[in-house]
Amino acid sequence: MEPHVAFRHEALLYRGMADFLNHAVPFIRDGLEVGEPVLVITSAAQLQALRAELGSDAGAVEFADMAEVGSNPAWIIPRWQAFVDRESKNGRRLRGIGEPIYPERNADELSECQWHESLLNLAIDRATPLWLLCPYDASALDPGVVEEARRSHPLVTEGDHRRESDAFRGLGGSIVPFGVPLPSPPAIHQTFAFAAPDLAMVRRMVADHAAQAGLNEERKDNLVAAAHEVATNSIRHGGGGGVLRLWRDARSIICEFSDGGHIDDPMVGRQRPHMGSAGGRGLWLANQMCDLVQIRALPHGSVVRLHQNF
């Protein structure tokens, strides 16, 4: 195969650990042989198996545990961008393996991981010579998740076959998930319509909700600070206010903010704002303080959900 000279985003549909290693080890070694820096972000079990198979070659590879790097899927793109910024000197080609989707993800995390995979097509400059392989364990994942991989990746490898995906949405279609509504809140939840004078009440409601759920002080304070940032955005950019909804599920406190504003940048919250930037800082900070942040731009306005695990 000819050297990759532009961004190459490929889904690997594998079945079990042996099949994963059968594809990932040669992919890594081929890159090392031609001097390409390699970053692998996957599960601890996959990392251990790769190190064992690579032997002495493992020392030349940068490894990271997806459970840490991508516990919040919004943290993954900044990690890839840091790798590119650090290693792509003089047009040097790069390789990566990133596996954000695995069976242990809950439904909300899975949704954000799928949005992440689609967003990668826009986040990485097309001229960046990065070959990014995204493994999916087709033997363990729901078939619908595998089918979504075909829609979010221009290239798909399965078995001995590598081909262009005939289901790929295209670059223009990569923002489609940004406009897909989130599941409705449960029937029982708190609701509070707020405006500029009500920020203190928003903070108090979120703090009380967090305390009742048993969050420790640090995690409670982080959630309150994130809620303040998002509510302030609603006041500044969403028509002067919005609606706060609060509930909890089996593992998280959820704070939803909706307003009449429109978010134009699908990368919001997933790229560190530049110094002096006029916007995006609040949602970036929210992603640093919460376990999960879901952002959607809908025809009638915007929705932001903050999740903080118990």
CATH of the domain at 258: 3.30.565.10
Count of domains for the chain: 2
Q: Which of 142, 177, 212 is the last residue of a domain?
A: 177
Q: Please indicate, yes or no, whether residues 61 and 198 belong to a single structural domain of this protein.
A: no
Quick check: 279 and 292 in contact, CB under 8 A? no
Helices 107-123 and 143-152, packing angle to 10 deg: 20
| Residue at 131 is within a domain | yes
Q: Which of 122, 145, 177 is the last residue of a domain?
A: 177
Between these two residues, 272 and 10, which has the higher pLDDT value?
10
Averaged pLDDT, 262-268: 93
Averaged pLDDT score across all residues of the chain: 96
Sign of the C-alpha dihedral, residues 74, 80, 84, 85?
positive
Least confident of 2-11, 157-166, 168-177, 249-258: 2-11
277 has pLDDT over 80: no
Give the domain range for residue 79: 8-177
Q: Please indicate, yes or no, whether residues 14 and 125 belong to a single structural domain of this protein.
A: yes
| Residue at 183 is within a domain | no
| Residue at 231 is within a domain | yes
Q: Please indicate, yes or no, whether residues 144 and 250 belong to a single structural domain of this protein.
A: no
91 has pLDDT over 90: no
What is the per-residue pLDDT across 41-79, written as a single tens digit (0 to 9) for each?
999 999 999 999 999 999 999 999 999 999 999 999 999
Q: Please indicate, yes or no, whether residues 24 and 109 belong to a single structural domain of this protein.
A: yes
The runs of H, that is alpha helices, within 75-171 are 76-87, 107-123, 143-152
Q: Please indicate, yes or no, whether residues 15 and 116 belong to a single structural domain of this protein.
A: yes
| Residue at 225 is within a domain | yes
The sheet with strand 252-259 has its strands ordered as: 190-195, 241-248, 252-259, 301-309, 292-298
Q: Please indicate, yes or no, whether residues 209 and 62 belong to a single structural domain of this protein.
A: no
| Residue at 126 is within a domain | yes
Q: Which two tokens stand for residue 15?
A: 């079945």
| Residue at 182 is within a domain | no
Quick check: 32 and 61 in contact, CB under 8 A? yes
Averaged pLDDT, 238-251: 96
Q: Cβ atoms within 10 A of the Cβ of 95, count?
A: 23
pTM of the predicted protein model: 0.94
Q: Please indicate, yes or no, whether residues 149 and 52 belong to a single structural domain of this protein.
A: yes
Quick check: 307 and 291 in contact, CB under 8 A? yes
Return the DSSP state at 4: P
Say what percent of the chain tops pLDDT 70. Answer: 97
Q: Please indicate, yes or no, whether residues 19 and 49 belong to a single structural domain of this protein.
A: yes
- pLDDT (0 to 100) of residue 272: 84
- pLDDT (0 to 100) of residue 2: 60
Q: Alpha-carbon distance 104 to 262, whole Å?
A: 33
Q: Please indicate, yes or no, whether residues 74 and 107 belong to a single structural domain of this protein.
A: yes
- pLDDT (0 to 100) of residue 273: 80
Confidence tier at 240 by pLDDT (50, 70, 90)? very high
Quick check: 169 and 151 in contact, CB under 8 A? yes
Q: Please indicate, yes or no, whether residues 126 and 231 belong to a single structural domain of this protein.
A: no
Q: Which of 177, 205, 228 is the last residue of a domain?
A: 177
| Residue at 3 is within a domain | no
- pLDDT (0 to 100) of residue 279: 62
276 has pLDDT over 70: no
1 has pLDDT over 60: no
What is the per-residue pLDDT across 114-155, written as a single tens digit (0 to 9) for each?
999 999 999 999 999 999 999 999 999 999 999 999 999 999
| Residue at 185 is within a domain | no
Q: Please indicate, yes or no, whether residues 173 and 198 belong to a single structural domain of this protein.
A: no
Q: Please indicate, yes or no, whether residues 114 and 201 belong to a single structural domain of this protein.
A: no
Confidence tier at 15 by pLDDT (50, 70, 90)? very high
Q: What is the CATH number of the domain that holds 166?
A: 3.40.50.300
